Amino acid sequence: MELSQIAKATIDWLNGYGTNVITAILVLVAGWFIAKWLALIVIKLMPNTKAFDETIAPMFSELVRYGIIITAIVIALSGLGVQTASIIAVIGAAGLAIALALQGTLSNIAAGVMIIWLRPFSVGDYIESTAVSGTVKKVGLFASQLRTVDGLYVFTPNAKIWDATITNYNKEMTRRLSFDVGIDYKADIDLARKVLLEVATADERVLSTPEPVVYVMNLGASSVDLQLRAWTRTADHWEARMAINEAGKKALDNAGVDIPFPHMRILAPELEQK
């Protein structure tokens, strides 16, 4: 008897609300696929527009996706007879509960928004902080993705990056390179300076303004320490640095400028006693 009553109540409910339930399910399914589709369109088209770039596209895509899903849920609940005011109250209460439970997640969202707003870096930049270092591949709503110099994938919360000091190696158009070398105390400083400047000016990647300079930086225990300073475009920095290191060593050798190395004199025990 009880089963028949339950079955009858179920049939009556389906007769009264079945259409609304099916409609609500269809709205949710359609909303899910539309959200996914529009998110893909946004992330593909936004980098091609002048107003946006590939840094902001992933976050905006996620906002579009979640916005459409929430809208679909509200429409589905309204179709089931739930009052809009009640829906808003439920969403507000749920949002408060989620906010209290996921404070760290919300801080990541806030950090992601600040990163997009202030732009300390963009996709493709190499950054370094106390938390992470690598080339930025994506800035998402909750986390960012980077690739290290040795090809490792790094997934880090936005708050970890935002709360640390960020060094961006690609933000400026030019960058200074330094070549440190110690020459023998008997070597000709002017000759060594001339050789190093010729090496720098011969490299096409070295800028003429500011012009390269060579300073005596320190009088060491076994050498006079020189430093060549030159400027390059940021994109050319590492290649120019390695090339000048090699060319500088060869040029100093050819000019007869000795590069000393520390010596240690060890006496035999019988000699120490004399």
For residue 191, what are its two tokens? 């000759």
User: pLDDT > 90: what percent of the chain?
Assistant: 39
Greatest alpha-carbon pair distance for the chain in Å reads 118
pLDDT tens digits along 252-262 = 999 999 888 76
The last residue of a domain, from among 69, 101, 133: 101
pLDDT, mean over the chain: 81
Reduce the DSSP state of residue 229 to 3 states and report it: strand
Residue 109 lies inside a defined structural domain of this protein: no
Residue 274 lies inside a defined structural domain of this protein: no
Residue 268 lies inside a defined structural domain of this protein: no
> What is the pLDDT at residue 54?
65
CATH number at residue 27: 1.10.287.1260
126 shares a domain with 63: no
> What is the pLDDT at residue 240?
94
> What is the pLDDT at residue 196?
95
Question: Which of 193, 209, 208 has the alpha carbon at shortest distance from 255?
Answer: 193
129 shares a domain with 48: no
- CB 188 within 8 Å of CB 227: no
Counted residue by residue, the chain has a size of 274
> What is the pLDDT at residue 119?
87
Residue 272 lies inside a defined structural domain of this protein: no
Number of structural domains found in the chain:
3
Q: Domain residues for 238? A: 174-254
CATH number at residue 246: 3.30.70.100
* 170 Cβ neighbours under 8 A, 6+ residues apart: 121, 124, 125, 126, 234
Residue 8 lies inside a defined structural domain of this protein: yes
pLDDT tens digits along 164-214 = 899 999 999 999 999 999 999 989 999 999 999 999 999 999 999 999 999
Residue 57 lies inside a defined structural domain of this protein: yes
* 174 Cβ neighbours under 8 A, 6+ residues apart: 207, 231, 232, 233, 234
pLDDT tens digits along 12-54 = 655 656 677 777 788 788 888 888 887 777 777 766 665 566 6
> What is the pLDDT at residue 233?
95
